[in-house]
Amino acid sequence: MTAARFRVLGIVSVAALLLGGCGSGGSSPASHRSSIQRQAGVQTSPPNTVPEGPPNTVPQEQPNTASPGGTVTIPAPGPTGIKANPAAVQVIRAWSDALRHGDVQSAARFFALPSVMINGGGVNGAVSVIRIHTVAQAEAANQTLPCGATFLSADMRGRYVNALFELTGRSGPGGSNCGTGAGETARTNFVIAHGRIVQWIRAPDDPGDNSGPVT
């Protein structure tokens, strides 16, 4: 499964920023995700085009309501090979461990108030933007991510920490067995401040991810 499919991680995109399709049981991941997003007050936009250039600024503060005709551009800074800040990596690793083990409440506590989760992989390729102002909204945002994730590596890309994860199933509210996505990788761009996630933005694959071509 590509990062676009894990974009559920599959938001923020955004609640549920902060982190593309994993599935389970009788209902499809898209319909399950849409139901959670409606409860969380997710704003969605039409399918986005990922730029090749430098990072872009996340949308300015808006209420968690649909914005007719609005679009969201997902930042796509390229690899730098610059080692990520160890303190930021610790936050990212701890968040992903908590979510993977189904502890949505603990995972939510790693998000700053306010913060944002921006995710892709919604219905018709829409990007979801979840504005997080309360603990309840942070929990709802994390519930939109049906797959768990094991942290693999990270590098600095401008203001972002780009983290690479291996997708897994997860228990807990909103969790699933991740379907065919389990074992594949996905990336997320994080902005970390004062030990909390300020921005969680689904990122595209790098060349070579998921057996893709290396350029």
CATH label of the domain that carries residue 105: 3.10.450.50
Read off the amino acid at residue 184. Answer: E
Omega before 204 within 30 of 0, i.e. cis: no
Residues 6+ apart with CB under 8 A from 181: 1, 5, 6, 10, 21, 22, 147, 167
CA 73 to each of CA 57, 122, 194: distance values in angstroms, whole numbers, following the listed order = 8, 15, 26
Domain assignment of residue 211, yes or no = no
Residue 78 pLDDT? 92
pLDDT value of position 103? 98
Q: What is the pLDDT of residue 30?
A: 47
In this structure, is residue 30 part of a structural domain? yes
The reported pLDDT for the residue numbered 70 is 55
Asked whether residue 166 is domain-assigned, the answer is yes
Average pLDDT, the chain: 76
pLDDT one-digit tens code per residue, 141-160 = 999 999 999 999 999 999 99
Band of residue 122 on the pLDDT scale cut at 50, 70, 90: low
State yes or no: pLDDT of 64 exceeds 70. Answer: no
Helix, strand, coil share (%) of the chain residues, nearest 5 = 25, 25, 50
The count of structural domains within the chain is: 1
- Its pTM stands at 0.69
What integer is the mean pLDDT of 28-47?
46
**Domain annotation covers residue 57:** no
| Residues spanned by the domain of 148 | 3-48+82-205
The answer to whether residue 58 is domain-embedded is no
How far apart, in whole angstroms, are the C-alpha atoms of residue 150 and residue 96? 6
Helix/strand/coil for 107: helix
